Amino acid sequence: MYTHILFDMDDTILDFQKAQLASFKYVLEKYGTQFSEDIYLCYEDINHFLWSKFDEGAISKDVVQNERFARFFDAIGKHVDGKQVNSLYQESLSSQTWLIPHAKEVCFELSKHHTLSIVTNGVGITQKKRFLASEISPYFSHILISEDIGVAKPNKQFFDKAFNLIQCTDRKKILLVGDSLSSDIQGANNVGIDCCWFNPKGAIDDRELKITYMITDLRQLMDIA
């Protein structure tokens, strides 16, 4: 049915939560700050808010990167250079390649009969390093990053350019798999392609989007694609 599958990267096939936590702890250690669940939640709230504004097109990726740690450390009573802290964080993050359960076996099997590509809004150099160092990179033909394309998911232009790069203009043959309603599923809706919402935590669709499939385990893709 599908010849091309577009995978979001973070929290779809690479475990970003583990990567983020390890890199956050690395930053705290460098700045002499004790880790706790409360301050981690504080950072997550700030980070999520800024990325949601980026998804909406309200701020640039540079603003997200330069502001998130500055705001976080301000919240816990420290003043830092947000850009400098972010560089340390990205340095650590680029080496974190944990996979979502069953990602390797699923990508291996799907790659036998489909062209697999990554579509991500993450930071370009970091995403490339993480992905190319991961066990699943041999199964993918393209890694399409918003920084390189010039526009981010869920913008229609991102996907229009992606379709040209993967050399598939028949949208009925393309399936997008991702965990984010705001960037992945909304993006698929914007360009009229089928989508699969990877939803292992049983979140609620509060956007009333068109979701072709919903899965809680990546192995379920084998029955779809």
Supply φ then ψ for residue 4, to 5 degrees.
-130, 135
Query: pLDDT for 41-93, tens place per residue?
Result: 999 999 999 988 887 889 988 999 999 999 999 999 999 999 999 999 999 99
Cα–Cα distance, 157 to 99 (Å, whole number): 29
Task: Please indicate, yes or no, whether residues 124 and 58 belong to a single structural domain of this protein.
Answer: no
118-136 per-position pLDDT tens digit:
999 988 899 999 999 999 9
pLDDT-derived band of residue 207, with 50, 70 and 90 as boundaries? confident
Specify whether 106 is located in the same domain as 117: yes
What range defines the domain where residue 46 resides? 16-93
Which residue among 93, 122, 145 closes a domain?
93
Question: Which CATH number belongs to the domain containing residue 64 in this structure?
Answer: 1.10.150.240
Residues classed as catalytic: 8
Residue 187 and residue 172 in one domain? yes
Report residue 13: phi and psi, to 5°: -125, -30
Are 11 and 120 in contact, with CB atoms under 8 Å apart? no
Question: Which of 61-70, 103-112, 198-207: highest mean pLDDT?
Answer: 103-112
Domain end: 93, 122, 150, which one? 93
For residue 142, count other CB atoms closer than 10 A to its CB.
Answer: 16
Looking at this protein, which amino acid is placed at residue 52?
S
Q: What is the CATH number of the domain that holds 115?
A: 3.40.50.1000
User: Could you report the per-residue pLDDT of 141-176, keeping only the tens digit for each?
Assistant: 999 999 999 999 999 999 999 999 999 989 999 999
- Cis ω for the linkage preceding 138 (within 30 of 0): no
Average pLDDT for the chain: 95
83 and 45 in a common domain: yes
Strand-pair category, 142-145 with 194-198? unpaired
Among 43, 61, 93, identify where a domain stops.
93
**Averaged pLDDT for residues 96-105:** 97
Provide the domain count of the chain. 2
Q: Which residue type does 71 have?
A: R
